Amino acid sequence: MSARHFLSLMDCSPTELVSLIRRAMELKDLRNRGVLFEPLKNRVLGMIFEKASTRTRLSFEAGMIQFGGQAIFLSPRDTQLGRGEPIADAAKVMSRMLDAVMIRTFAHDTLTEFAANSRVPVINGLSDDLHPCQLLADMQTYLEHRGSIAGKTVVWIGDGNNMCNSYIEAAIQFDFQLRVACPEGYEPSARLLAEAGERVQIIRDPRQAVVGAHLVTTDVWASMGQEDEAQERMKLFKPYQVDRALLDMADESVLFLHCLPAHRGEEISEDLLDDPRSAAWDQAENRLHAQKALLEFLVEASHHHV
Ligand code: CP
Ligand code: NVA
């Protein structure tokens, strides 16, 4: 079907991504100045959450309300999705009533199957494989704090998870070098590593990886759905904790980001989010602005005025 989707950063061109981030900064400024701007009046976003969320739900919901529209929270527990209604059928029906659908799911295939059967834009609000909306906020935050990320060195520390995979796509789209410091057996997607080629390097030792780094970022050691492995992972990932001393070894302009929620004492030291090099709170706020830019881009394009 013809709608434009955002399941991965690769669904946009590098130029479109840069425009989205510029637009996010404009929308942030409008909101800071208290300007009422309602381009999505009467528009409705459906949000399917198979996993928990604070930021993603709030930012999409608040964003739609600020834009003059509405968002509807749908849990598989209360919809027929949880009782086995096929994704394709749900997509056909939901997309006849909604103007866009955001989905947070386990299997990435759920998103691709929904999108293949949807008349309206589908947005990935996190899957086991990718978290592209978070990367829009991360790229906006780096730009606001340090300027263009093109040509810079970014270091991912910890698990080669959904966030790490999206950082690989960001390295390709935003033109930076990425180093991944992860334990053996916890590498990001082999397909994405192959696609990125020389742009992404695996460096096992975090202290070696951060030398010259302009951006350092990490995430939880056990993602949603990996609760059973948490104990084992805690031991294995111990050498991958990011603390102030590790940031001291990076470039002096280094910025630290964390998509949150954070586990202090695990992937970051207790005090790291209070360090002046951390921009994690701005990063969280930017989810709102970046996704408003995304909604405007995807949904407003399909507006018909009479
Ligand atoms: N970073 C992020 O996606 O947070 P939530 O899980 O709270 O949505
Ligand atoms: N990797 C984490 C990110 C949470 C926003 C997870 O998937 O649980």
In this predicted structure, the answer to whether residue 2 has a pLDDT above a threshold of 80 is: no
**Is 134 marked as binding a ligand?**
yes
Per the rule left: phi > 0, alpha: psi between -120 and 50, beta: everything else, 199 is: alpha
**Is 219 marked as binding a ligand?**
yes
Q: The tokens 């300007």 sit on which residue?
A: 35
pLDDT in tens, 43-75: 999 999 999 999 999 999 999 999 999 999 999
Nearest to 21 by CA among 103, 133, 104, 120: 133
pLDDT at 305: 56
The ligand placed nearest to the CA atom of residue 219 is: 2
pLDDT at 303: 60
In this predicted structure, the answer to whether residue 266 has a pLDDT above a threshold of 80 is: yes
pLDDT in tens, 103-123: 999 999 999 999 999 999 999
Separation of alpha carbons 92 and 173, rounded Å: 31
Q: Which one-letter amino acid corresponds to residue 140?
A: Q
Give the burial string for 103-134 (b: 16+ CB within 10 Å, else e).
bbbeebebbbbbbebbebbbbbbbbbbbbbbb
Domains of the chain: 9-131+287-304 (3.40.50.1370), 132-284 (3.40.50.1370)
**Stretch 94-108: mean pLDDT:** 98
Distance 259 CA to ligand 1 centre (A): 7
Separation of alpha carbons 11 and 169, rounded Å: 10
pLDDT at 169: 99
Q: Is 259 a catalytic residue?
A: yes
**Is 260 marked as binding a ligand?**
yes
Contact status, residue 125 vs residue 133, Cβ threshold 8 Å: yes
Q: What are the contacts of 88-94 at 24+ separation with CB within 8 A?
A: 88/113, 88/114, 88/116, 88/117, 89/117, 90/114, 91/115, 91/116, 91/117, 91/118, 91/122, 92/117, 92/118, 94/46, 94/118
**Cis before 261? omega within 30:** yes
pLDDT in tens, 221-258: 999 999 999 999 999 999 999 999 999 999 999 999 99
Candidate of 128, 130, 161 to mutate for ligand 2, largest count of ligand atoms within 8 Å of Cβ: 161
Distance 306 CA to ligand 1 centre (A): 38
pLDDT at 300: 85
Half-sphere exposure of 254 (CA within 13 A, CB side): 24
Contact status, residue 22 vs residue 148, Cβ threshold 8 Å: no
pTM over the 0.95 mark: yes
Average pLDDT in the chain: 97
